Amino acid sequence: MCQQNDMSTENSLYKILLVDDEQDILDFLSYNLKKEGFQVYTALNGRDAINIAKKEIPHLIVLDVMMPEMDGIDTCREIRDIASLKDVMIAFLSARNEDYSQIAGFEVGADDYITKPIKPRVFISRIKALLRRYAPEQQKSSQVDLGGIQIDKEKYCVHKDGEEISFPKKEFKLLSLLASKPGKVFTREYILEQVWGDEVVVGDRTIDVHIRKLREKLGDEYIKTIKGIGYKFEF
């Protein structure tokens, strides 16, 4: 019982904004999240969601893709342009499971995708997993510890299970980027921009080669390929 109360208290630190044009879905999701102790806000459309987000600064926004007037893609794009919301995580909620819909979401800055129909226990588990990524104090630190892998960004140093592993500069930058937000899918375009910048003669094959080298040194279990989209780091 004490453990349940502690968990509820921890959850109460997090603000979650639910956005869907169907009131019954908002009520259903809101009920289950509040039962777990989360602070929950709701909006029936993208414009209201943006206004609430700017006021409350939620930790996570669960955003329906298909909405009238301003859909989830446009709402996400606008949120990502607001400086005060740059650290907010966004998970798309949709009955659509097509690749192009997911690609569009990730390209405008989504962190994850949740498909309908929603089972409460699975939904809560996904929400908790997303919130575990929310660690701004770790992101600001020069040292990151991720399930047996330690990354020191200042010393360009990586240890796995206590043993130092050598990485060339580009491999290190790629690993640091992926590990900065475990579970987040980084698109190929974003990876190219962040790791290689304006350098010429860099394409998808270059990323693939560097990913393969990271896997050879760390093992296959950490870096996952998201077909047609990009890569993510898991531990």
* Contacts for 188 with CB less than 8 Å, ≥ 6 apart: 204, 207, 229, 230
Residue 235: CB atoms within 10 A of its CB come to: 12
In this structure, which CATH number among 1.10.10.10, 2.120.10.90, 3.40.50.300, 3.30.930.10 belongs to the domain 136-233? 1.10.10.10
Rg (CA), the chain: 19
Q: Give the Å distances, CA to CA, from 113 to 4, 65, 81, 123, 207.
A: 28, 10, 20, 11, 23
Helix/strand/coil for 176: helix
Angle between helices 169-180 and 204-218 (to 10 degrees): 80
Average pLDDT of the residues in 94-115: 77
Amino acid in the structure at residue 7: M
Extract the tokens encoding 189.
């375009």
Asked if domains 2-132 and 136-233 share a fold, the reply is: no
Tell me the pLDDT tens digit for each residue of 39-70: 999 999 999 999 999 999 999 999 998 888 89
Name the residue ranges covered by the structural domains of the chain.
Answer: 2-132, 136-233
pLDDT digits (tens, 9 = 90+) for 128-144: 888 877 654 444 556 77
CATH no. for 2-132 = 3.40.50.2300
